[in-house]
Amino acid sequence: MSAIAVHELTRTFDDFVAVDSATFDVARGEIFGFLGPNGAGKTTTIRMLCGLLRPTSGHAQVAGFHVARDAAALRARIGYMSQSFSLYPDLTADENIQLFAGLYDVTGARFAQRREWVLGMAGLRGFERHVTGTLPLGFKQRLALGCAVLHEPLILFLDEPTSGVDPVARRGFWDLIHDLAQAGTTVLVSTHYMEEAEYCNRLILMNRGRIIAAGAPQTLRSAMTEAIIEVITDDAPRAVEALTRAGGVIEASMYGRAVHVVVADAGAQAVTMVRETLVAAGRSVESITQVTPSLEHVFVSTVRSEGGAVAG
Amino acid sequence: MLSPRRTLAMARKEWIQLRRDPRSMVLAFGMPVLMLVFFGYAISWDITDIPIAVLDQDRTARSRHLIDAFEASGYFTVVSRPERASDIDDALVHGRVTGALTIPPGFTRDLAAGRPAAIQLLLDGSDANTATVALNYSSAIAAGYSRDVLLQGRSIEAPATAETRVWYNPTLESSNMIVPGLIAVVMSIIAAMLTALTIAREWERGTMEQLAATPVHRLEVVFGKLLPYLGIGMFDVATTVLAGVLIFGVPLRGSILLLAAMTLLFLLGALGLGMAISAVLKSQVLATQVAMVATYLPALLLSGFLFDIASMPAALRAVSYIVPAKYYIAVTRGVFLKGVGIDVLWIQGISMVAFATVGIALATAAFRKRIEA
């Protein structure tokens, strides 16, 4: 049985369709990603799965519980970390742990053991009595994660857990997510950092309330039919200008010093075509190579092929 | 099933937060006694030492005797003795005096001749209450003076006299009436203000979403949040009662236990009401203001604290029946001054139970665990 089974899940706010017929399954112990820009419907979907928001139509089962009907029983078996930092800032780290232990019925020896685990995991030993609001953001986020998994939930929902954190702390946070998954927790995590999606076993791409692609990161990348050619020239803006007008080029954009050119078909022909276009425009080409598409390329390409614009 | 552990976890958290918030601490522990003392001294219907000016144009032993009678009463103090009538106007306009007594020339002559001798008392009617009281006192003083003049030292038996005796507040001290009522008014405000912040704060800070994702039941949240404030409310009533007895010398004649039980019920209702307002509005500023208006005005105006309900128009009288403070004031005045028990206060008892039930029901109904927005 899958940890999460979602079928045609829809949520509307008046005329606005926040989530449109989402259907997907999450296996036990999987790290499952929601990737998409702000406003794609990631948070709304997670809130419905946690029983915080009633679906307009469709249904979802989480850990075997119906999200709309059995919300109360469901909450004891899931952990949730909302988008904004949401522990009590005027309580100390230890008081926050004690509060959530009380709410999740974690008591006695188990409490002592879990408390130690959280303090160690969050790197908060020696800071137990510091008021949470004064801790650095990275520590707060790890403490929030600790409070969300105090009761060792079957399924953990993380809504953009790393937004606003520096890259090093973000990396460390993902190590924690991996450890939890290793221990058997199913993790559903949303992010708008494309590179973070690479850490997921499987993911769905969401845009404007709809799932536009689903699969493992590797599968999504190889399913992309278009190719990306990276060129370095003497004048990137003028190269983009020349390439955009050329036939066979879907899109040309600056990527740092380089220019990324999206072409319909991969192969030597395309590389030749790009080189010739640039030379004809009077540019000198320093290097030209075909690169593996990133998830960002996949995302943009998928949105483009659907004829839509990116929300955000 | 309600879990005591979860309820206590909420209560403990609420208490810690309260302790670390200086604004709430002042509201919880400082305000009640401060308000009691402040209002207790400011509101007084006992009028003494009314400042008056005296223009004695007769200048005889008799006229001086009359002025002495005014001063000896204790209700009037002569603060100025102008020479001309025009000075009186000036003193009244500037508020230096509240009244002006003029004894015209020929006062003694008229008395001696057995003719009616007129004296004039001008009163500043802009404070109608004081003016009315001054009017009554001065009539009484003049009547007593006239009787003395007529009898000229002889004594008579009046054919009929009314033996009046005032029960419960024999000296008619207004503080005896104000302080017990004031405790009810102050607690109405404080209780609703205390809890008005509590749920709105969770929505504003985004902690409500985290709380909602835990297995905590909304009744556990409501009771958990009520507990510390209930404790504070009881403490506040105890200190204000103590202050009433010690500072204002109000007698506490009835059962403290009955007062405590009624207070507990009243606080449950008032705290629940504040929490319901907080849960519906989801904004601390708005909730505080609404809680203030919803409790302060009815408690002050429609509870019988300041104005007699029996003399209100029918519509306001009808509204007063749903003002909880009205019943609680009956309890505090009854227990303080009359020393009555539940055999008299049973209607108030039922009202308190109803108020507590409605308050908690409203808070629970208003509190939603879902994030529907």
Q: The CATH number of the domain where B97 resides is what? A: 3.40.1710.10
**pLDDT at A311 exceeding the cut of 80:** no
Same domain for B115 and B189? Answer: no
Same domain for B292 and B329? Answer: yes
**pLDDT of A254:** 87
Q: Which residue in A44, A88, A96, A156 has the most chain B C-beta atoms within 10 A of its own C-beta, making it the best mutation to test that interface?
A: A88
Same domain for B96 and B38? Answer: no
Same domain for B38 and B66? Answer: no
For residue B214, the distance in angstroms to the closest alpha carbon of chain A comes to 5
The answer to whether position B157 is within a domain reads: no
Contact between A54 and B210 using a beta-carbon 8 Å cutoff: no
Same domain for B254 and B177? Answer: yes
Same domain for B182 and B37? Answer: yes
> What does the pLDDT look like over A97-128, one tens digit per residue?
999 999 999 999 999 999 999 999 999 999 99
Contact between A102 and B205 using a beta-carbon 8 Å cutoff: no
Residue B266 or residue A249, greater confidence:
B266
Instruction: pLDDT band for B372, please (50, 70, 90 cuts).
Output: low
Same domain for B116 and B252? Answer: no
The answer to whether position B358 is within a domain reads: yes
Same domain for B66 and B201? Answer: no
Q: Tell me which residue of B267, B261, B268 sits closest to B335, measured CA to CA.
A: B261
> What does the pLDDT look like over B20-44, one tens digit per residue?
999 889 988 988 888 888 888 877 6
**Average pLDDT over every residue of B239-260:** 92
For residue B348, the distance in angstroms to the closest alpha carbon of chain A comes to 38
Last residue of a domain, one of B151, B183, B214: B151
Residue ranges and CATH numbers for the domains of chain A are 4-216 (3.40.50.300), 225-292 (3.30.70.100)
Rounded to the nearest integer, the mean pLDDT of chain B is 87
Interface of B with A in 197-236 (CB under 8 A): 205-207, 209-217
The answer to whether position B131 is within a domain reads: yes
Instruction: pLDDT band for A159, please (50, 70, 90 cuts).
Output: very high
Q: Which two tokens stand for residue A56?
A: 């307009």
Contacts for B11 with CB less than 8 Å, ≥ 6 apart: B223, B224, B225, B227, B228
Number of structural domains found in chain B:
2
Contact list in A for residue B17 (CB cut-off 8 A) is 88, 90-91
Same domain for B54 and B120? Answer: yes
DSSP character string of A21-56: EEEEEE-TT-EEEEE--TTSSHHHHHHHHTTSS--S
Contact list in A for residue B21 (CB cut-off 8 A) is 90
Cα–Cα distance between B350 and B262 in angstroms, integer?
10
Cα–Cα distance between B148 and B170 in angstroms, integer?
28
Predicted ipTM? 0.84
Same domain for B270 and B179? Answer: yes
Quick check: B10 and B224 in contact, CB under 8 A?
A: yes
Residue B317 is part of which domain span? 25-43+173-366
For residue A115, the distance in angstroms to the closest alpha carbon of chain B comes to 16
> Helices H, strands E: what count in chain B?
15, 4
Contact between B370 and A98 using a beta-carbon 8 Å cutoff: no
Same domain for B233 and B114? Answer: no
**Average pLDDT over every residue of B257-273:** 95
The answer to whether position B372 is within a domain reads: no
**pLDDT of A312:** 47
**pLDDT of B119:** 87
Q: Tell me which residue of B372, B311, B335 sits closest to A56, measured CA to CA.
A: B372
H-helix or E-strand containing A212?
A: strand A210-215
Last residue of a domain, one of B118, B151, B184: B151
Instruction: pLDDT band for A39, please (50, 70, 90 cuts).
Output: confident
The answer to whether position B121 is within a domain reads: yes
- Percent share of chain A, pLDDT over 90: 55
Contact list in B for residue A131 (CB cut-off 8 A) is 20
The answer to whether position B159 is within a domain reads: no
Closest-approach residue (CA) in chain B for A73: B215
Residue of B9, B16, B20 lying closest to A102 (CB–CB): B9
Taking the Cβ of residue B154 and every Cβ of chain A, the question of whether any pair is shorter than 8 Å is answered with: no
Same domain for B187 and B104? Answer: no
